[in-house]
């Protein structure tokens, strides 16, 4: 009998890769979409005939209960969130409603309808914030630096608490930054690779950035959704850090991306103080030895491979349709 899974956030970067993975494993995939005035299915267009889309919202408890009652999934992947850190300072209340209380609503719905459902919660390395140790592992204390980070700490602990209080199979994946050609244009990797492609093709001349000294542990989203699935197949629910273990600065990223198309980044990059955050996470690097030992998980794409993959994808996209390039990201 094939398994059934619900994915919230199926229209996002991770949701689209996870849907592909689960379909390849013959799952029946039900994706949650919230109502919009026009469809927002760009990342899952190629899967649209193979998944079922159902309306629900993390803000609406009854919509979640009804969804779970009608679908009766074996696995529930909660990937939906307000995921862009700067926006969390502009909308801290809404960020908490989506990312913190939204997770409580999912946990309550599962507890009430069918406590045997396995739940994956999308926790984040942003929870480590002003880091207490290097590298960060499952036992490193949290010190979030944004309303987003704070909301994810709440979500993390409410997931742990429901596991311990009600014996739910609820796992929390503490994933470090992961990217792909499907990454939103406002995140720094994609903002850079999109701009490099535009500049190379003569569609733009400059790129405004904020803190070039921030360091991140960047991996490939396709590798990270495999880890999510692996965590859900264990005997016992536990939390895992997922990371490459290698950290680079935003400056390294810029240099590599421009260099890949033969451009000198110093001629194109400007610094915009408006892009500096009220509180910064300066340096993240993860220790995923638990996941490597217990799940057998390994990343397959390194930093250089990731940057090249993303620049090449943006070049292909903009070469095919330069007229639909849209505005340059200003976030
Ligand atoms: P993303 O591309 O921004 O996608 C977010 C998804 O959440 C979208 O499908 C969005 O739907 C949906 N959503 C937002 N609010 C919702 C609501 N109230 N009800 C229902 N759906 C809602 O994010 P991602 O990069 O795929 O990340 C997936 C998850 O992993 C997020 O929880 C993120 O915080 C977490 N995470 C990401 C990373 C990373 O590096 N990518 C690292 C650690 C943790 P619309 O399309 O309608 O906007
Ligand atoms: O790409 P970012 O916006 O990602 P950030 O803030 O690390 O958050 C992402 O990863 C988290 C995992 O740790 C996820 F939980 C979260 O949902 C999201 O996916 O920024 C990365 C770094 C920051 O230090 C930022 O200050 O890049 C720096 N940066 C420098 N100039 C910039 C820019 N970031 C953006 N978005 N835009 C810039 O112009």
pLDDT, residue 322, reads: 73
**What average pLDDT does the structure give for the chain?**
97
Please check whether residue 240 is in contact with residue 288, taking contact to mean a CB–CB distance below 8 angstroms.
yes
Rounded distance between C-alpha atoms, residue 66 and residue 222, angstroms? 30
What pLDDT does 325 receive?
63
Q: How confident is the model at residue 130 (pLDDT cuts 50, 70, 90)?
A: very high
124 is catalytic: yes
Using a pLDDT cut of 90, give the percent of the chain over it: 96
**Banded pLDDT at 330 (limits 50, 70, 90):** confident
- CA-190 nearest atom, ligand 2: 1
**pLDDT score at 328:** 67
Nearest to 97 by CA among 109, 105, 85, 89: 105
Check pLDDT > 80 for residue 55: yes
Where does the pLDDT of residue 331 fall: very low under 50, low under 70, confident under 90, or very high at 90 and above?
A: confident
- pTM score of the predicted model: 0.97
CA distance 64 to 325: 36
Q: Relative to the alpha carbon of 14, which ligand is closest?
A: 1
- Residue 258 clears pLDDT 70, i.e. is over it: yes
Q: How confident is the model at residue 324 (pLDDT cuts 50, 70, 90)?
A: low
Segment 123-136 mean pLDDT:
98
- Topology adopted by domain 184-217+246-284+301-320: UDP-galactose 4-epimerase; domain 1 (3.90.25)
Atom 12 of ligand 2, residue of closest alpha carbon: 177
| Whether residue 150 has pLDDT greater than 90 | yes
Is residue 307 within 8 Å of 195, Cβ to Cβ? no
CATH code assigned to 4-178+220-242 = 3.40.50.720
SS3 134: coil
State the catalytic residue, choosing from 27, 41, 77, 148.
148
What are the pocket residues of ligand 1 if the criterion is a CB atom closer than 6 Å to any ligand atom? 8-9, 11-15, 32, 34, 40, 57-59, 79-83, 98, 122, 124, 175, 177-178, 184
User: Domain limits of the chain?
Assistant: 4-178+220-242, 184-217+246-284+301-320
């Amino acid at each position: 009998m094939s398994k059934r899974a619900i994915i919230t956030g199926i229209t996002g970067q991770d949701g689209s890769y996870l849907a592909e993975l689960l379909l390849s494993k013959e799952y029946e995939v039900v994706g949650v979409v919230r109502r919009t005035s026009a469809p927002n299915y760009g990342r899952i267009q190629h899967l649209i005939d193979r998944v079922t889309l159902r309306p629900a919202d993390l803000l609406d408890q009854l919509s979640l209960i009804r969804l779970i009652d009608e679908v009766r999934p074996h696995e529930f992947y909660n990937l939906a969130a307000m995921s862009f850190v700067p926006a969390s300072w502009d909308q801290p209340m809404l960020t908490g409603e989506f990312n913190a209380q939204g997770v409580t609503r999912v946990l309550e719905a599962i507890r009430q309808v069918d406590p045997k459902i396995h739940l994956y919660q999308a926790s984040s390395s942003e929870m480590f914030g002003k880091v207490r140790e290097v590298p960060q592992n499952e036992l490193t204390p949290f010190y979030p630096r944004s309303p987003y980070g704070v909301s994810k700490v709440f979500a993390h602990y409410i997931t742990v608490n429901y596991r311990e209080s009600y014996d739910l199979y609820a796992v929390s994946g503490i994933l470090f930054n992961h990217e792909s050609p499907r990454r939103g244009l406002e995140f720094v990797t994609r903002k850079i690779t999109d701009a490099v492609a535009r500049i190379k093709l003569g569609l733009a001349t400059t790129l405004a950035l904020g803190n070039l000294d921030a360091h991140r542990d960047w991996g490939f989203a396709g590798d990270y959704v495999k880890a999510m699935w692996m965590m859900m197949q264990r005997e016992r629910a536990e939390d895992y850090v997922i990371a490459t273990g290698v950290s680079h600065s935003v400056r390294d990223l810029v240099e590599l991306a421009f260099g890949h198309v033969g451009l000198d980044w110093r001629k194109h990059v400007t610094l915009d103080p408006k892009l500096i955050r009220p509180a910064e996470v300066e340096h993240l690097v993860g220790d995923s030895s638990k996941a490597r030992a217990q799940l057998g998980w390994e990343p397959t794409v390194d930093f250089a491979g990731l940057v090249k993959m993303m620049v090449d994808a943006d070049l292909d996209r903009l070469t095919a349709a330069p007229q639909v390039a849209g505005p340059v990201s200003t976030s």
